[in-house]
Chain A
Amino acid sequence: MSAVLFYAVKDVRKNRRAFIFITIAIALSTANIIILNGMVYGMTDDLVESTIETSAAHISIYPNEKDKYIEGLGIKEQKLESIEGVIAYSPRLSSGGALSYREKSKTIKLLALEPSKENRVTTLLSKIDSGETLEASDRSSILISYRVAEDLKAKVGEDAILVFENSNAKVYRIKGILRTGTAMDMNTVVINFDEAAEQLALNNKASTVLVRLSDISLSGQYKIKITRELGVQKVKEWKQEVESILSTAETFGRISSVINAVGLFASAVSVGVILYINILHKRRQIGVMKAIGMRDSQILSVYIVEAVLIGIIGIIIGDALGYAGTKYLEAHPFTDPITGDMAPRFYTYLLYDASMVAMLTVLIASLYPALIAGRMNIIKAIWGT
């Protein structure tokens, strides 16, 4: 064992009470990075995944700029079926409307879809909070989002009047209540595609067609392919659909970086101050080290190595705390009435990132006290003048 490492280990053991504070500071800031970033990235990924799973799919086809609907739906569906790598598609009709239940009425967004096709592309119809989901043959039933149900105090099994945007009105049975964890929960009513097309007098048309690919990572290539093959102008990848979510997540990411930086700064200060005080208390010993022949660089190394040793212990504890904290919050998420459960996710790379950042902080914080120790004048150090 080198003399530097030997002395550093002994000094850390001897001063373990003082160094416990440094260890705690490093552990907390490391855990803070893992949990806070796990929260931001976890919520973002949850939201992105649920958006893809419920409303964006891998590719979304929209009407051309001047059109309100995608025309010639049948032919486009045939072309989609012939494209290798497209494993499913689901046409949707979107329009406005109102839903009346007893004396109450609410403006809604009407979403019409074919359950058999939709189930192959998204999991929207499985997000049932209560009641049952819509089947392919359910032309007289609807699903309503839980916020619509709350606002109208509507219950599963009851009848409600749906007023279409062309003023057609018809009574439908509320078959189930949806909870997706996305913006759809605000005011969506889901109805059978053919039923909506008939009521709105829209034949062979769709507002969007969602496409599921065999490989989501190829969405860029398929966007170009679908645009060309179907002769449509407006095709979006899932990334474009979740742009607003990613942008919001980026803002939250910056806020979390600031919080992490404050935590790291606090731990850097504690590392620096405690090492500095330790070095001041050991002036005479540092003088003796130099007198017996230790070079300035070796003395500097002793205190850097001490900081690294304490840092390693703090980081290991911090990693364990971060992991345990994330797992605990995963099991006990924060509940939000609009977005549903909010919980962090554990990402292994955060363990590495947090460890590296914390170690870098420790190294930087220890540099000044270590330099002071290395540059200490021998005579002044030994005789305390």
Chain B
Amino acid sequence: MKIIETKELKKIYSLGKIEVNALNGVNVSVDEGEFVAIMGPSGSGKSTFLNMTGILDTATSGEIHINGYDITRMNSNARAEYRLKHIGFVFQFFNLFMELSALENVMFPMMLSKHPFYKERAEELLELVGLKARINHLPSELSGGEQQRVTIARALANKPKLLLTDEPTANLDTKTTKKIMELFIRLNKEQRQTIIMVTHNPELGAMADRIIRFRDGKVEE
């Protein structure tokens, strides 16, 4: 079953009088449970594509269907609700809430979705990513790899259908990168978590089930 399907997806940015075609008619589909790597040179449109499928940005034209819903027709509140319940993000710069502990960072999306056992589930998720002993630490007290694992636990909080990650290991050393990738693969294999990962690194791309290559705002055939 297709979890993502885009049809003639276009995104044009205006930089003053100049228009930039970030996406120029992208047709992509991703099946449920797939681990897809998106690769391509800088400016090829891969992060823009990720923002579109994560409902963080709006398309200039075209369609994006996630789990059968055309998300381009959603209003602001419906988009927020959809992100909360169906999409998890793992960012390059971790982007944890610095005033919240590891546990609270993971609890927070579940508090928003009014999950009845948010604390217990947050503890389970931190155990899953190997941080049970660090749950009460603030992000500033955690290493880069630990922070990224908290981000992954937070992204999984509301059991999203889709986990989107943009250069998740760009700021991590080789050993930590390996651990994070092993975690992604484990989530994909054991929990059939659909993952779309933007990366520049061919070695990481090779770990995915499939690689989609972008160039000049289009998918390379």
Contacts and interface: CB of A to CB of B under 8 A. Distances in A.
A7 B80 contact: no
Given A3-B108, A378-B56, A378-B57, A10 B99 contact: yes
Interface string A215-259: 000000000000000000000000000000000000000000000
Given A3-B108, A3-B112, A295 B95 contact: no
Contacts of A6: 104, 108, 111
B76 interface: yes
Contacts of B111: 1-3, 6
Interface residues of B, number: 28
B109 interface: yes
Given A7-B108, A379-B56, A292 B99 contact: no
Contact of B54 (A11, A291, A298): A291
A156 interface: no
Interface residues of A, number: 27
A293 B80 contact: yes
A382 B51 CA distance: 11
A185 interface: no
Interface string B84-97: 11000101010101
Interface in A288-303: 288-298
A382 B95 contact: yes
Contact of B80 (A13, A294, A379): A294
A139 B81 CA distance: 93
B100 interface: yes
Contact of B77 (A11, A295, A378, A382): A295
B191 to A, nearest CB: 19
B113 interface: yes
Interface in A1-38: 1-3, 6-7, 10-11, 13-15
Contacts of B108: 3, 6-7, 292
Given A379-B56, A379-B57, A288 B95 contact: yes
A15 B97 CA distance: 13
B97 A7 contact: yes
Given A3-B108, A3-B111, A293-B109, A288 B80 contact: no
For the complex, would chain A's binding face be called helix, strand, loop or mixed by DSSP majority? helix
Contacts of B83: 290-293
A292 B89 contact: yes
A304 to B, nearest CB: 17
Contacts of A382: 56, 91, 95
B48 to A, nearest CB: 9
Contacts of A296: 76-77, 80
Given A378-B56, A379-B56, A290 B80 contact: yes
A3 B108 CA distance: 7
Contacts of B80: 290, 293-296
B98 interface: yes
A298 B111 CA distance: 12
Contact of B99 (A3, A14, A378): A14
A284 interface: yes
A166 interface: no
A288 B97 contact: yes
Contacts of B76: 295-296
Interface in B53-108: 54, 56-57, 76-77, 80-85, 89, 91, 93, 95, 97-100, 104, 108
Contacts of B81: 293, 295
Contacts of A10: 97, 99-100, 104
A15, A291, A295 interface centre (most CB from chain B within 10 Å): A291
12 contacts: A6-B104, A6-B111, A10-B97, A10-B100, A288-B91, A290-B56, A291-B54, A293-B80, A293-B84, A293-B85, A296-B77, A296-B80
Interface of A: 1-3, 6-7, 10-11, 13-15, 284-285, 287-298, 378-379, 382
